[in-house]
Amino acid sequence: MVLADIAAILTGAGYPNCQPIGDCFIDGVNTGRGYFAWNDNHALLAFRGTEADNNFDKATDAEINQTWEAGTLVHSGFKRYLDSIWAQVTQWVTAYRANHPNQNLTITGHSLGAALATLAFSRLNDATSSLITFGCPRVGNPAYCDSIAALARTRACYRVVDNLDIVTHVPTDLLSVYAHPPITVYWLDPDHILQVNPPRLPSDIDAITQLPDGFLTTHWMDNLPDPLPRPLADHSPVRYAQYV
């Protein structure tokens, strides 16, 4: 897929303007990637998720040590990827805001892209922005999650989770080093019925115990078993697009 393909899809959806962010259409690059699309009523900042054959992406996902972000601690790999494209993000958001100060800006992504979207949402702190993530991993410590919750008091923030999606369970919440922000959750149950803020979400153990023995340490995203175990199948962007 090239920019013309994305532009055609977005134009059909009502977004005649589109600019790539990072090397969005080049495989195997060591950078965040996405696009900024807009019309006179709405803008969309979308980030690309992990490519299964991109070792840089996988190394970034695995870089789970934490680093400082606005007085809180966040995943250093995710922050590094966002930093690599931050100048482009602010360039296009600033340009849009010059003539569209009150229009909504939706920030979104799937998987790694959802993590970048979360960081971009908090870093931009745009009063008329909203956040929608799909299959988002944990991004930061409880203090960081509290900062997202504070923003969610005045703007829309939604976390969409497909059943046992394994990526939503990493990094684990062991010792409360990582957490998910307490925002509205849309959960697809095992029957693909969408529930809002269910009383109980699957735990990390619920998801991990359905993976093959040693899977997370031996071949994460390499030599994937066929058929995929449920926690991996539930992470597919195709499933999110089909059932949400």
Residues 82-127: pLDDT tens digits?
A: 999 999 999 999 999 999 999 999 999 999 999 999 999 999 999 9
Q: What is the CATH number of the domain that holds 132?
A: 3.40.50.1820
Indicate if the pLDDT at residue 52 is higher than 80. Answer: yes
Is the C-alpha dihedral spanning 209, 243, 190, 183 positive or negative? positive
Which amino acid is it at 23?
Answer: D
Beta bridge mates, 129? 105
Give the range of the structural domain holding residue 17, as residue numbers without chain letter: 3-243
Q: 165: which DSSP letter? A: -
Rounded Cα–Cα distance for residues 15 and 124 (Å): 22
Half-sphere exposure of 104 (CA within 13 A, CB side): 10
CA distances, 89 to each of 21, 112, 227 (Å): 7, 16, 38
**185-240, pLDDT tens digit by residue?**
999 999 999 999 999 999 999 999 998 776 666 555 566 677 889 999 999 999 99
**149 phi and psi, to 5 degrees?**
-60, -35
How would you class 159 by CB atoms within 10 Å of its CB: exposed for 0-12, middle for 13-18, buried for 19 or more? Answer: buried
The beta-strand segments (E) located in the chain are: 17-21, 34-38, 42-47, 66-69, 72-75, 104-110, 129-134, 157-162, 184-188, 194-196
Number of residues that this document lists for the chain: 244
Domain count, the chain: 1
Tokens of 166: 């394994």
Beta bridge partners of 42: 104
